[in-house]
Amino acid sequence: MLPFIRSDLAQFTAYKPHPSSNTAEPVATQFDRLDTNESPDDLPPELKEKLAWTYQQVIETNRYPDGGHEQLKDAIAEYVNESAHLSPSLFTAANISVGNGSDELIRSLLIATCLRGEGSILVANPTFSMYGILAQTLGIEVVTIGRNATNFEIDLKAAQTAISQTQNPPIRVVFVVHPNSPTANPLTAAELAWLRSLPEHILVVIDEAYFEFSQNTLVGELAQRSNWIILRTFSKAFRLAALRVGYCIAHPEAIAILEKVRLPYNLPSFSLAAALVALQNRQLLLSSIVQILSERDKLTAILSQHPALQVTESAANFLYLRLKPNNSYAQEAALQSLHQQLRTSGTLVRLLNGGLRITIGTPEENTRTLERLQAAMANFTS
Ligand SMILES: *Cc1c(COP(=O)(O)O)cnc(C)c1O
């Protein structure tokens, strides 16, 4: 360990976003990459051409990007209002902050709330891992609770106990995903009631990374809840994972704080231009969602027929697959073996504690996934 490094960092390992690609062997593009919940479709060629033109004719690479993001924030506010059927003037640029992916916004929120030993965070596992990872790299304590094994509802009793008993520092932020990753379930009525009951000094971050798939949003409630912030991203339905654009919707006062802690030129000019083009062409880009959802439902129906598999209803563009309890094999070892067999046959999925998370791909990819999964399952159940 380098002698000038913070002592608690020694135990961390760097985040590997594609765990399946960590081996010496490169991830070949012939793999079906169903492990990171991206859209299966690239931007259409006409939009790529438009962006290429913007890059050649408009962007001056010697100049810093627009550090205020005003044009993009206006467009985002318009989209937020429209997509939630709200008054077109409800949210404005003053309610929006833009980040280098929503990961940057998560880190900014942590910096703005918990640093200097002022707060801990609460997460219910399994959930998006970045909340905990980013908190730990900042020296922020992460309090974890569990979920109901059947419907994945947060253990609300444990959550309430954690809130009342965590001291020095107390819990200052609760992170939830709506719908959750990896379990794909939206927030339940009981979870919502609990979130609404939290006092004003606890920030509630509702991550709606999969909103375009679920069409279920809580932005309509933001006006009444000064301690809620909603996170969104261009990395999923908008097909821009490569360009790193996320945003949050919040009260102007909270936005002003986020603007204080962010890096001045956090988004490259090209990313800003791409997000704007994506929004201007949202009807075209989001039109592929219908097919993704129908593929998802088809896959769910077929996998539910399998005697050894347990698949729960998904409100997003991925499935969470578990093995039914069985005495003839150890669950975790069986999952690992399934994960490996899928990989060997050409499909990358995400192995998480207790389940496999499978992104919905193109119809061809999904057909291959089914075939490969059924072949791999034959090894357990024969
Ligand atoms: C994919 C995902 C994001 C997106 O992160 P970016 O940094 O914007 O790419 C955020 N939250 C959750 C829960 C996700 O699954």
* Backbone φ and ψ of 192, nearest 5°: -65, -45
Which residue's C-alpha comes closest to atom 5 of ligand 1?
Answer: 102
254 part of a folded domain: yes
Tell how far the Cα of 306 is from the centroid of ligand 1, in angstroms.
Answer: 31
Residues 13 and 71 in one domain: no
Instruction: Give ligand 1 pocket residues (Cβ under 6 A).
Output: 37, 101-103, 128, 177, 181, 207, 209, 233, 235-236, 241, 246
Tell how far the Cα of 208 is from the centroid of ligand 1, in angstroms.
Answer: 9
Q: Is there a contact between 234 and 245 (Cβ–Cβ < 8 Å)?
A: yes
Ligand 1 atom showing the smallest separation from residue 104 Cα: 7
352 part of a folded domain: yes
- For residue 363, what are the domain limits? 7-43+288-381
Residues 26 and 107 in one domain: no
Which residue's C-alpha comes closest to atom 14 of ligand 1?
Answer: 209
169 part of a folded domain: yes
57 part of a folded domain: no
41-47: long-range contacts, CB 8 A cutoff, minimum separation 24: 41/239, 41/288, 41/362, 42/239, 43/239, 43/240, 43/278, 43/285, 44/284, 44/285, 47/277, 47/278, 47/281, 47/284, 47/285
Please give the chain's pLDDT, 382 residues, in tens.
Answer: 788 999 888 888 887 766 544 455 555 558 999 999 999 999 999 999 999 999 999 999 999 999 999 999 999 999 999 999 999 999 999 999 999 999 999 999 999 999 999 999 999 999 999 999 999 999 999 999 999 999 999 999 999 999 999 999 999 999 999 999 999 999 999 999 999 999 999 999 999 999 999 999 999 999 999 999 999 999 999 999 999 999 999 999 999 999 999 999 999 999 999 999 999 999 999 999 999 999 999 999 999 999 999 999 999 999 999 999 876 678 889 999 999 999 999 999 999 979 999 999 999 999 999 999 999 998 876 5
SS3 labels along the chain? CCCCCCHHHHHCCCCCCCHHHCCCCCCCCCCEECCCCCCCCCCCHHHHHHHHHHHHHCCCCCCCCCCCCHHHHHHHHHHHHHHCCCCCCCCCHHHEEEECHHHHHHHHHHHHHCCCCCCEEEEECCCCCHHHHHHHHCCCCEEEECECCCCCCECHHHHHHHHHHCCCCCEEEEEEECCCCCCCCCCCHHHHHHHHHCCCCCEEEEECCCHHHHCCCCHHHHHHCCCEEEEEECCCCCCCHHHCCEEEECCHHHHHHHHHHCCCCCCCHHHHHHHHHHHHCHHHHHCCHHHHHHHHHHHHHHHHCCCCEEECCCCCCEEEEEECCCCCCCHHHHHHHHHHHHHHHCEECEEECCEEEEECCCHHHHHHHHHHHHHHHHHHHC
CATH code of the domain containing 373: 3.90.1150.10
CATH code of the domain containing 74: 3.40.640.10
Which residue's C-alpha comes closest to atom 7 of ligand 1?
Answer: 101
Tell how far the Cα of 325 is from the centroid of ligand 1, in angstroms.
Answer: 31
Residues 222 and 322 in one domain: no
Which residue's C-alpha comes closest to atom 12 of ligand 1?
Answer: 209
Domain end point (choices 237, 255, 282): 282
**pTM, two decimal places:** 0.96
Greatest Cα pair distance, the chain, in angstroms, is 64
Distance CA 294, CA 121 (A): 36
Ligand 1 atom showing the smallest separation from residue 177 Cα: 13
**Res 29: pLDDT:** 56
Residues 69 and 154 in one domain: yes
Residues 11 and 136 in one domain: no
Question: Ligand 1, from 207, 233, 244, 266: best to mutate by most atoms within 8 Å of Cβ?
Answer: 233
Residues 121 and 82 in one domain: yes
Tell how far the Cα of 152 is from the centroid of ligand 1, in angstroms.
Answer: 20
Crossing angle of helices 269-280 and 45-57, rounded to 10°:
140
| Structure tokens belonging to residue 48 | 């790529």
| Structure tokens belonging to residue 350 | 């995400």
Radius of gyration over every alpha carbon of the chain, rounded to an integer in angstroms: 21
355 part of a folded domain: yes
55 part of a folded domain: no
Domain end point (choices 282, 310, 335): 282
Tell how far the Cα of 23 is from the centroid of ligand 1, in angstroms.
Answer: 24
Residues 34 and 76 in one domain: no
Residues 125 and 221 in one domain: yes
Q: Residue 292: name the closest of 315, 309, 321 by CA.
A: 315
Residues 278 and 323 in one domain: no
* Backbone φ and ψ of 161, nearest 5°: -65, -45
Tell how far the Cα of 217 is from the centroid of ligand 1, in angstroms.
Answer: 16
Residues for the chain: how many in total?
382
Ligand 1 atom showing the smallest separation from residue 127 Cα: 13
Domain end point (choices 263, 282, 301): 282
- CA-based end-to-end distance of the chain: 50
Tell how far the Cα of 102 is from the centroid of ligand 1, in angstroms.
Answer: 6
Tell how far the Cα of 103 is from the centroid of ligand 1, in angstroms.
Answer: 7
Residues 73 and 141 in one domain: yes
Q: What is the total count of domains within the chain?
A: 2
Residues 93 and 170 in one domain: yes
59 part of a folded domain: no
Residues 235 and 148 in one domain: yes
Q: Output the CA torsion 294→337→151→295 (10° steps).
A: 0
**Res 353: pLDDT:** 79
16 part of a folded domain: yes
Question: Ligand 1, from 35, 76, 102, 131: best to mutate by most atoms within 8 Å of Cβ?
Answer: 102
